Structure 1
Amino acid sequence: MYDVIVVGGGPSGATAAEDLARSGHKVALLDRAGRIKPCGGAIPPRLVTDFHIPEVQIVARMTSARMISPSGRKVDIPINGGFIGMVDRDRFDSFLRKRAVEAGATLLTGTYRRIERDEKGVRVVYRDKGCGTERAVAAHLVIGADGARSNVARDEVPGGDTIPYVIAYHEIIEAPEPTAEYDPTRADVIYDSRISPDFYGWVFPHGGNASVGMGSLVREVNVKKATADLRASAGLTDCVTLRREGAPIPLKPLDRWDNGRDVVLAGDAAGVVAPSSGEGIYYAMVGGQVAAAACAACLASGRVRDLRLARQLFMREHKTVFRVLASMQRAYYRSDERRERFVSLCHDVDVQRLTFEAYMNKKLVHARPMAHLKIGLKNLAHLTRLVPVEHI
């Protein structure tokens, strides 16, 4: 009988399992293994610090970012006083699971099937990867950290089966030698409807490899062709392809993360991916952290309402950032004309500075009110078309 079973061994689930094990709880971590999530792999310095990530896991450090508009305009943004860290998800996720096991969690390898209940509590039924038969493991509580389109969320939490998501696809390639178009210390973000009509494409160096991909809500988009077009425009067509991966990325946090009884969600299952940027690793790990805290509180008090703490704690710190990013996505991703204006806005030094300060520290910067006023006026001028397109 476990205190908590965590379904899903990605960054969110592994973090939740580690936190619970370190606080003295008996926890099982169920992971299906052999699945690498398609992900650009970007992490901010705050994640490295808050979650004690060793240097060996950082395969590259980006010191600049390049925004590319539909017309081909390029805006290079230096990341002064910081960096964008890059991790390879196969190695990174394995490291987090191993750390959870070392903290005392029991790792189970298999695929979630369903949740059953009896007078003793809740049981997670899974298909054991080793023998192929169904097994059941019992606990007081369950954390669903099984990603976007979560089966736990679908089965247990209201609204868990209707969360909107982007289909993301990327190809991991062998990185070329540095050129004018490919810089191993620069992250490229491409805003162009020929690559994605409603999101963006990316080229993220990973040391000896690189992640090249895109995402879109539009189901008719041929993600493989769009990625091939992106590789061609970036001069990466002839690079050796190591693997191809695709998966959904949620776009909005669920209104509820628990079932009011014995289940709470975390990470992608709860929808905690940043709008506009699609950044998810940091928020997934915070989601695992708050889910673990909510479970610990519930176990200690016996009050099932304490499971609500997971969403409350997360939103207390990150709700405003999510709202601002969602507004930006609605305003600027709707057409190539708007994307052109957005990239033009990124020329502004104050925009660059405040954007990356917020990215690295994971909170809005309020220390320079005049800079915020200036950005707000420029933003208004673009959205109301006071600035003609030909003058951008």
Structure 2
Amino acid sequence: MSAQDRYDVVVVGGGPAGATAAQDLAKAGRKVALLDKAGRIKPCGGAIPPRAIRDFDIPQHLLKCRVNMATMISPTNKRVDMPIDGGYVGMVDRLEFDEFLRVRAAESGATRVTGTFSRITRENGDTLVHYCPKDSVAEETLRTKLVIGADGALSKVGRQEIPGAEKVPMVFAYHEIVETPAENQNRCEIYYRGTLSPDFYAWVFPHGPTMSVGVGSAHKGFSLRGAVADLRAETDLGPLKTIRGEGAPIPLKPLKRWDNGRDVVLAGDAAGTVAPASGEGIYYALLGGRLAAEACEEVLKTGDVKALGLARKRFMKDHGRVFWVLGLLQRFFYSSDRARESFVKICLDPDVQRLTWESYMNKEYPKRNFVAQMRIFFKDVAHLLRLA
């Protein structure tokens, strides 16, 4: 087997994490294969903050609309508007967005391979990635030095190679893409109500000529499709044409370990990098792919496989605190309709609105405004104790 037959890195999964990792490594001059099975679209509201657009060169033509308002809707149907002063959140359609990222990776030099990942083995110092090409049951093999597993929440790479990868908590999401009754809608609607989701939320997100109507829940047996049908009926979206429906699990906690200390590192949903409470994952997937690529580049340069651990270390240093705070928020405020009612009421507070958008738009937990943060903390406690 000649050196020309080996890849430096095989990336399994062509979503935002995998495509970004493949592009970054290819631009760095590495020989990269991007293995992805064709035709899968993840159910996703499609929101990307300004920092993602800046950091990952997302072209404006991919933005189906620019949202400048989120409306939070309580169990008793109280509506709280949270305007974005001087900014916007971009909304993308994952069908188009993910393919753009894969094409960009290929244009940067990555080799696209269409097929379904099967397993990993080792032979003569090489790591072998086995997969079945599209419309075939016969396995083929890619030889490589390193593997990035970016194959989603139920990552087969992770479950084979990373202890504990099968234990990450999940929310199951389902949405329908429907024709929008009026273009240029710039408002997201988020419904906090136990009948629509006993432990998460439901949403209506604009995508220009279409919209995403969806719901998430970790409760087994809860009818996601039924909840979406109820939401569509309630919002007069029921008669609109359904373009497609999609469902998938979404992880809500980063894994304690992302690498096997040898030749595999995870990224994106496979690593559990979806924000609790909000379910936001696109920015964190893009970032996770970049950090995995950087870790692999360090291993290829130095030969030190311990560098694979840098991906998680760097991610948690910058975003671990936000994930912890959001995890507490979901635990306490999504537990009952009474708590959800308090949560939506809290969103009326100007301090809450300002700090929420500041952290979301810039992907940094605000280090300033300490007084405002303390006011929010005591207000939250008052709501939890039914004092407000």
For 2:295, the equivalent position in structure 1 comes to 294
Q: Over residues 200-245 of structure 1, what are the superposed CA-to-partner deviations in whole Å (9 max), with x where a residue is unaligned?
A: 0000010000000000000110111000011111111111100010
Q: Distance in 1 between matches of 2:379 and 2:265?
A: 42
Shift of 1:81: 1.4
Cα-Cα RMSD:
1.0
Is the Cα contact below 8 Å between 1:143 and 1:264 reproduced in 2?
A: yes
Q: Distance in 1 between matches of 2:136 and 2:346?
A: 57
Shift of 1:377: 1.4
For 1:281, the equivalent position in structure 2 comes to 282
For 1:43, the equivalent position in structure 2 comes to 48
Is the Cα contact below 8 Å between 2:177 and 2:211 reproduced in 1?
A: yes
Q: Over residues 271-304 of structure 1, what are the superposed CA-to-partner deviations in whole Å (9 max), with x where a residue is unaligned?
A: 0000000000000010000000010111111111
For 2:176, the equivalent position in structure 1 comes to 171
Q: Over residues 66-100 of structure 1, what are the superposed CA-to-partner deviations in whole Å (9 max), with x where a residue is unaligned?
A: 00000000001111011111000010000000000
Q: Over residues 171-218 of structure 1, what are the superposed CA-to-partner deviations in whole Å (9 max), with x where a residue is unaligned?
A: 00000137xxxx811000000001000000000010000000000000
Letter in 2 for 1:116: T
> 1:125-144, aligned counterparts within 5 Å?
125-129=130-134, 131-144=136-149
Shift of 1:7: 0.1
TM-score by length of 2: 0.97
Q: Distance in 1 between matches of 2:203 and 2:380?
A: 24
Is the Cα contact below 8 Å between 1:204 and 1:211 reproduced in 2?
A: yes
Q: Over residues 115-157 of structure 1, what are the superposed CA-to-partner deviations in whole Å (9 max), with x where a residue is unaligned?
A: 0111131010000115542100100000000000100001000
Q: Over residues 4-49 of structure 1, what are the superposed CA-to-partner deviations in whole Å (9 max), with x where a residue is unaligned?
A: 0000000000000000001111100000010011100000000000
Letter in 1 for 2:44: C
Letter in 1 for 2:25: L
From 66, 88, 92, the equivalent of 1:87 is 92
Match status 1:76 vs 2:81: yes
Is the Cα contact below 8 Å between 2:38 and 2:114 reproduced in 1?
A: yes
From 153, 162, 165, the equivalent of 2:167 is 162
How many residues are aligned here?
A: 383
Match status 1:185 vs 2:190: no
Shift of 1:104: 0.4
TM-score by length of 1: 0.96
Shift of 1:366: 2.6
Letter in 1 for 2:82: I
Q: Distance in 1 between matches of 2:59 and 2:309?
A: 32
Q: Distance in 2 between matches of 1:187 and 1:42?
A: 10
Where do 4+ consecutive residues of structure 1 move more than 6 Å? none
SS at match of 2:166: coil
For 1:306, the equivalent position in structure 2 comes to 307
For 1:214, the equivalent position in structure 2 comes to 215
Between 1:358-367 and 1:267-276, the stretch displaced more is 358-367
For 2:62, the equivalent position in structure 1 comes to 57
Letter in 1 for 2:387: L
Unmatched runs of 5 consecutive residues or more in structure 2: 1-5
Shift of 1:260: 1.0
Identity of aligned residues (%): 57
For 1:327, the equivalent position in structure 2 comes to 328
Q: Distance in 2 between matches of 1:164 and 1:149?
A: 11
Q: Distance in 2 between matches of 1:31 and 1:177?
A: 35
For 1:390, the equivalent position in structure 2 comes to none
Q: Over residues 49-79 of structure 1, what are the superposed CA-to-partner deviations in whole Å (9 max), with x where a residue is unaligned?
A: 0000111011111010000000000001111
Unmatched runs of 5 consecutive residues or more in structure 1: 388-392
